[in-house]
Structure 1
């Protein structure tokens, strides 16, 4: 005897699932890219980027309270930005994209946004002015994000 059975879901329930699971996937993707960047910085000796705080300063016309707080604020922005991008992964599922196809589209959206936004705000040079090693590292980090977010999204929304 079945106590509860739900064969159809409403569009609002699907949207809620896409957003909620997307946010969780975004947290996982942000954790993965953060670890990826930490490992890369240890290997290459690169310092953490101030790009998140610079972008927010320009877009919202605000300044940091102090130089000492910039790294902390930059990390907070990094986590909020990455988590929010998880919603895009959820929205892709509503279009019918699933698995690797959705992961690839998510990667293209996230990396593509960075390629357009950062140079337009003069926070990073255009891609044609970057060296191949820097481009490769950037692709790697964004791929780590998209794959981790996609795996978590797919696990959360997997039908039993």
Structure 2
């Protein structure tokens, strides 16, 4: 009996010690989430740009990405319209047509990156973050847009879109979610990668 206790202690003292688990601070999770959001947004936009080019679009990626064709509020997409309403509502200030392009870019990137910050905080707190969770994140972002934008009269109700349109939008958001999750996973301090 006594010998068994000595053997256990001896075995415990000779075990290979692993490095202590590195803790990620909330601020570290915020910065990593933001960086991952940039990657995820680019992934989504590359999917959408490829479709644009396949449909005979002619703008170079930089022009397309930064809304070179947006000249005013009449042809401004949903992100710009949301930004316009925020400024109108909060600051009681009407934005000129010349602000539509910049508003679109700020809202598109700001919304995507800030959502990824929230995802980063959540994923960094998990014991085992998984890239596959990005699919849930992307699908959630897609569904959320069909919840908040129809009441704002910026989207039609989801039931009024055909399956092809919804599928294209969903797959772009899945690319965003996976791109964000993969980038975040790569940026997290891992405990003994396997």
Please indicate, yes or no, whether the TM-score normalized by the shorter chain is above 0.5: yes
Q: Which has the higher contact order (CA 8 A, sep 6+)?
A: 1
| Counterpart in the other structure of 1:60 | 87
- State the secondary structure of the residue aligned to 1:120: coil
Alpha-carbon separation, structure 1, partners of 2:129 and 2:166: 27
Q: Look at both structures and tell me which one has the larger radius of gyration over its CA atoms.
A: 2
The superposition leaves residues 29-57 of structure 1 with CA deviations (integer Å, 9 ceiling, x where unpaired) of: 11111222222122235888611111122
- State the secondary structure of the residue aligned to 1:123: coil
TM-score scaled by structure 2? Answer: 0.68
- Root-mean-square deviation over aligned CA pairs: 2.6
| Counterpart in the other structure of 1:128 | 159
The superposition leaves residues 124-160 of structure 1 with CA deviations (integer Å, 9 ceiling, x where unpaired) of: 1111110111101100110110111111000000415
TM-score scaled by structure 1? Answer: 0.81
Matched, 1:82 2:119: no
Alpha-carbon separation, structure 1, partners of 2:43 and 2:113: 11
* TM alignment of 1:109-128, pairs within 5 A: 109-128=140-159
Alpha-carbon separation, structure 2, partners of 1:63 and 1:130: 31
- State the secondary structure of the residue aligned to 1:121: coil
- State the secondary structure of the residue aligned to 1:17: helix
Q: Would you say the 8 A contact 1:92–1:102 is kept in 2?
A: no
The superposition leaves residues 28-86 of structure 1 with CA deviations (integer Å, 9 ceiling, x where unpaired) of: 111111222222122235888611111122233254322x5423431222111111111
Alpha-carbon separation, structure 1, partners of 2:94 and 2:143: 27
Q: 1:45 to 1:118 in 2, by over 3 A?
A: farther
Q: Would you say the 8 A contact 2:136–2:177 is kept in 1?
A: no
The superposition leaves residues 1-25 of structure 1 with CA deviations (integer Å, 9 ceiling, x where unpaired) of: xxxxx83666xx5312221110000
| Counterpart in the other structure of 2:66 | none
* TM alignment of 1:4-15, pairs within 5 A: 7=20, 13-15=24-26
Matched, 1:50 2:80: no
